[in-house]
Structure 1
Amino acid sequence: MTTGRFHKMHGLGNDFVIIDAREEEITLSGAQVAAIADRHSGVGCDQLIILRPSIDADVKMQIFNSDGSQVEACGNASRCVAKLIGDETRIETDGGIIIGSATADGAIVDMGTPRFDWQSIPLAYAMDTLNMPVGWEDLQNPATVNVGNPHVIFFVDDSASVELDRLGPMIEFDPLFPEKVNVNIAHIKNGAIYLRVWERGVGLTRACGTGACATAVAAIKRGLVSSPVQVNLPGGTLVIGWHDGESIQMQGPTSYVFSGEADWTRF
């Protein structure tokens, strides 16, 4: 497929170009993905999603960041795909199979069970992942959680005061994280989480579904909040539910922006 239709959707401002390739094959290079994601000369998006046939689920979701790199999971994209397809949808990702159901204003997604052992994050060497004995400047003793992709979470007094645009890439590329890492900065107020995310391969983002899940799980494990918890991001609010040993439930709104057609060979 060289020319085809696409959908533009977003969840809380975390936006996606979604290409349905379940009936016609499409292959894009990392450079092509980056060109499509460019907000000045392409369609523009945080992530590009290709939907493919799946043997084990209703659909396979291939996820690319705006720099052309491929990643294992994306919570907001999962919600958008669930809303796009409708009903209850089993979605295969490289991070595992998740289940999404459309709601009136968006979708609720079962994100599976989080992983906490250092090999599954992964980290370069063994350590306590709930209270890591490491830090970067004033950001100290984070937690790490894998929710299909790796996240490091710092709880601070005021998330807005952290220079995340400067510290985010420093932490993302630290050798401690052999597959790089998503960086989450959060504070707790009145039982709710206020969160900012530096997303690996993307940068500062208005919302990150897996980041909201990982941060909520870490906050619950540390006894800072109870489930379900409201997670407030720059783009809006998600509600995350999780109890130890169970899967993560994430609910929030999605928006269908427009559909279009493109000649992919031009990118």
Structure 2
Amino acid sequence: MQSGGVRFLKGHGTQNDFVLIPDLDDALSPTAAQVIAICDRRAGIGGDGLIRIAPEPGGGYFMDYRNADGSLAEMCGNGARLFARYLVDAGLQQPGSFEFGTRGGVRTAQLEPAGDVSIGMGPANVGAESKAELGGQVYSGTAVDVGNPHLVCLLDASASSTLAALDLSAAPHFDADVFPHGVNIEFVVPLGADRVRMRVFERGVGETRSCGTGTVAVAAAFRHSLRIGSAIGRPVGDVGPVTVDVPGGTVCVSFEDGQDGGATLTGPAVIVAQGVIEQDFWDRHR
């Protein structure tokens, strides 16, 4: 913490935006109330979440991610790209490939001083079938674990207007027995054999312009559906990278050796501002 307040940066990945707090002395422990106040878009800085940049005990850095409601989260793909971008821009890591810690496990970043950032997201495990309910309509979905839980609801390829009309101002209902800790829910329309469009309701946040782990979950579920011939009306062989269109832009998800384990997420990461959170504001919201 610097004299007079707490330094922060603001950035986004495909308009999924975050407040970053460098804490290289590991001196800060934001409370849920502080995170909520900082992420408030009218009375705070505003963001879908807060990322504290902390040191790892054995060297390197840890991505301490909190949702906008103050809850802890295992991993955030868009936030991870921004985290990696900051480390390189600040001279804390050299451009190229390096690892960092998250609650979802160790992740690997690949980036140069300019251009997109790639994050090794680890396994994307396709699980059981489940359902989401929204506006009185029930949507079939597939559970996918990307270090955090997702439910991917794949709509018909002709349902673009349905996707656009979904009211995600309130959380969809889901099976709490399947997802006891809550779930991120994606609604997806295929645009071909290697491209999809999605919207997402993130647990602890609401609808966001993008969700990095969500795009990986969607790509994994989509590839699974292609293999059984249910997404575009015909079975296909193994598919390559999947382009995912989100309201905030476009990312690409690829998989090592043609498998759903070992996903890599590639997309932009932009730091737009920096400043200081006033000490009074920080202290008042403990």
Normalised by the length of structure 1, the TM-score is: 0.88
Q: Distance between the aligned counterparts of 2:252 and 2:20, measured in 1?
A: 24
- Within the alignment, does 1:177 sit opposite 2:166 as a pair? no
Give the deviation of 1:135 after TM superposition: 5.0
Give the deviation of 1:82 after TM superposition: 1.1
Q: Does the aligned pair in 2 maintain the 1:14–1:205 contact within 8 Å?
A: yes
Q: CA distance change for structure 1 residues 25 and 68 in 2, over 3 Å: closer, same or farther? A: same
Q: Which has the larger radius of gyration?
A: 2
Q: Distance between the aligned counterparts of 1:134 and 1:234, measured in 2?
A: 23
Corresponding residue SS for 2:151 = strand
Give the deviation of 1:56 after TM superposition: 5.6
Aligned counterpart for 1:98 among listed residues 96, 107, 111: 107
Q: CA distance change for structure 1 residues 170 and 20 in 2, over 3 Å: closer, same or farther? A: same
Moved more, 206-215 or 220-229: 220-229
Corresponding residue SS for 2:217 = helix
Corresponding residue SS for 1:70 = coil
Q: Distance between the aligned counterparts of 1:57 and 1:180, measured in 2?
A: 32
Give the deviation of 1:221 after TM superposition: 1.2
- AA aligned to 1:220 is R
Aligned to 1:38: 40
Aligned to 1:204: 207
Q: CA distance change for structure 1 residues 26 and 133 in 2, over 3 Å: closer, same or farther? A: closer
Q: Does the aligned pair in 2 maintain the 1:187–1:193 contact within 8 Å?
A: yes
Q: CA distance change for structure 1 residues 240 and 57 in 2, over 3 Å: closer, same or farther? A: farther
Q: Does the aligned pair in 2 maintain the 1:139–1:154 contact within 8 Å?
A: no
Aligned to 1:258: 273
Q: How many residue pairs end up in the alignment?
A: 252
- AA aligned to 2:169 is D
- Please give the residue correspondences for 1:21-100 in structure 2 after superposition, counting only pairs within 5 Å: 21-55=23-57, 58-86=60-88, 87=95, 88-100=97-109
Aligned to 2:148: 149
- AA aligned to 1:5 is R
Q: Does the aligned pair in 1 maintain the 2:109–2:119 contact within 8 Å?
A: yes
- Among all aligned residue pairs of Structure 1 and Structure 2, give the percentage whose two residues are the same amino acid: 33
Q: Does the aligned pair in 2 maintain the 1:56–1:92 contact within 8 Å?
A: no
Corresponding residue SS for 1:76 = helix
- Within the alignment, does 1:232 sit opposite 2:236 as a pair? no
Aligned counterpart for 1:165 among listed residues 149, 169, 191: 169
Moved more, 140-149 or 48-57: 48-57
Normalised by the length of structure 2, the TM-score is: 0.82
- Within the alignment, does 1:241 sit opposite 2:254 as a pair? yes
Aligned to 2:138: 139
Give the deviation of 1:162 after TM superposition: 2.7
Aligned counterpart for 1:113 among listed residues 85, 109, 123: 123
